[in-house]
Chains A and B, each alone.
Chain A
Amino acid sequence: MDPLRQRSRRRFLTGIGAALGAAGLAGCDRLSQSDTVASVLGSAEHLNAAVAKVVTGRRAMAQEYAEADLSPTFRSNGTANPNNPAYQTLAASGFADYKLVVDGLVAKPRSFTLAELHALPSRTQITRHDCVEGWSAVGKWQGARLSALLDLVEPKRNARYVVFHCADPMNDDGTDPYYESIGMDDAYHVQTILAYRLDDQTLPIPNGAPIRLRVERQLGYKHAKYVMRLELVASYAGIGDGNGGYWEDQGYQWYAGI
Chain B
Amino acid sequence: MNETTSTATVMAEPRPAARARPLHYRHTLAVRIMHWINVIALAMMLMSGLNIFTAHPALYWGNSSYSGAPPWLEIGARMDANGAMSGYTRILGHEFDTTGVLGVSSDDGQAYAQAFPAWLSVPSHQWLAMARAWHFFFAWIFLVNGLAYVLYTIVSRHLARDLAPTRRDLAGIGRSIVDHLRFRHPSGDDAKRYNVLQKIAYLTVIFVLLPLIVLMGLGLSPRLDTLFGGWVGWFGGRQSVRSIHFIVAWLLVVFVLVHVFEVIVTGLWNNLRSMITGRYRVPQAPAGHVTVQRMAADAPLEER
Interface residues of chain A, those whose CB is within 8 Å of chain B, are 1-2, 9-10, 13, 25, 28-29, 32, 38, 40-45, 47-48, 52, 55-56, 60-63, 65, 69, 71-75, 128, 130-138, 216-219, 247, 250-253, 257-258
Contacts and interface: CB of A to CB of B under 8 A. Distances in A.
B269 A63 contact: no
Contacts of A43: 137
Categorize the interface residue count of chain B: 35 or more
B134 A28 contact: yes
Contact of B66 (A25, A28, A71): A71
Contact of A42 (B58, B133, B226): B133
B119, B122, B226: most-surrounded residue (chain A CB, <10 A): B226
A236 to B, nearest CB: 18
Interface in B32-50: 44, 47
Interface stretch (B77-85, B146-154, B230-238): B230-238
B233 A135 contact: no
B164 interface: no
Given A60-B226, A253-B132, A134 B53 contact: yes
Nearest to B53: A134
B136 A258 contact: yes
A133 B128 contact: yes
A13 B181 CA distance: 27
B221 A257 contact: yes
Interface of B: 1, 5, 9, 44, 47, 52-53, 55-56, 58, 63-68, 119, 122-124, 127-130, 132-134, 136-137, 139-140, 218, 220-227, 229-230, 232-233, 238-239, 242, 268-269, 272
A72 B220 CA distance: 22
B222 A216 contact: yes
Contacts of B133: 38, 41-42, 44-45, 251, 253
- Give the top 3 A-B pairs by smallest Cβ distance, nearest first: A257-B223, A251-B129, A60-B226
Nearest to B55: A133
B130 A135 contact: no
A63 B56 contact: no
A63 B139 CA distance: 25
A84 B5 CA distance: 85
Contacts of A62: 222, 225-226
Nearest to B71: A135
Contacts of A42: 133, 137
A45 B63 CA distance: 25
Contacts of B226: 56, 60-63, 217
A2 B222 contact: no
B64 A136 contact: yes
A217 B230 CA distance: 14
Given A63-B226, A133-B56, A251 B130 contact: yes
Nearest to B239: A136
Contacts of A60: 223, 226-227
Given A32-B130, A75-B66, A133-B128, A56 B223 contact: yes
A217 B123 contact: no
A63 B65 contact: no
Given A62-B226, A72-B67, 8 more contacts: A13-B269, A29-B124, A42-B133, A47-B140, A69-B63, A75-B66, A133-B56, A253-B133
